[in-house]
Amino acid sequence: MKRLNLILGALLFITVIHVNAQSETKNWSNDPAHSQLHFTVTHLGFNDISGTFDEVIINVNTSKSDLSDASIELTAETNSINTLVEARDNHLKSADFFDAEKFPTITFKSTGLEKVSEGTYKLNGNLTMHGVTKSVALDFIYKGETVNPMSSKKTIAFKVTGTLNRSDFAVGDKFPEAIISDEVRIAFNGEFTQPEH
């Protein structure tokens, strides 16, 4: 009887350890050198112009290996906008568009992931830009996990794409769609590692 109790106790202990390991929340932060946040608009109705926000921090908290329960938060520095044309960048930072002095950051906080297929989700969340917060739905593709041979760090990657209307955030209201499209296409590709403690 005593031996049976010891065996049952050991099995219970192993089960608890396994459950805790499965439910352990992990934090991932984007690797800036391997992460890019792009946006694209159409100029004069027929030409695409793209740019990036170069200063972006994204934190992901998840307890599942497929990221299906992930909580995602993004902060982009508005002043880091980069279209490779300094005069245009300065105009975009002005009150005509993003008003970077008044609204220094763009933020996104997820509210949930809806599974579409294996590794593919609909990412829902609240986007705050130019002082306006709107709910958005984006496409999320989890690329998987590997070990970076250069750093020996466990690394995950995912891609997020979607569209939004700049008019919803009162960005560039003076400029009609014939000059700059209302629709803005966004794309994020990034790698993530766990912060060192």
User: Does the reported pTM lie above 0.95?
Assistant: no
| Closest by CA position to 51, among listed 30, 33, 37 | 37
Count H helices and E strands in the chain, helices first: 2, 10
Please enumerate in sequence order all residues whose Cβ is within 8 A of that of 8, keeping only pairs 6 or more positions apart, or say none.
Answer: none
Q: pLDDT tens digits, the chain, 197 residues: what are they?
A: 555 454 544 444 444 434 444 469 999 999 999 999 999 999 999 999 999 999 999 999 999 999 999 999 999 999 999 999 999 999 999 999 999 999 999 999 999 999 999 999 999 999 999 999 999 999 999 999 999 998 899 999 999 999 999 999 999 999 999 999 999 999 999 999 998 75
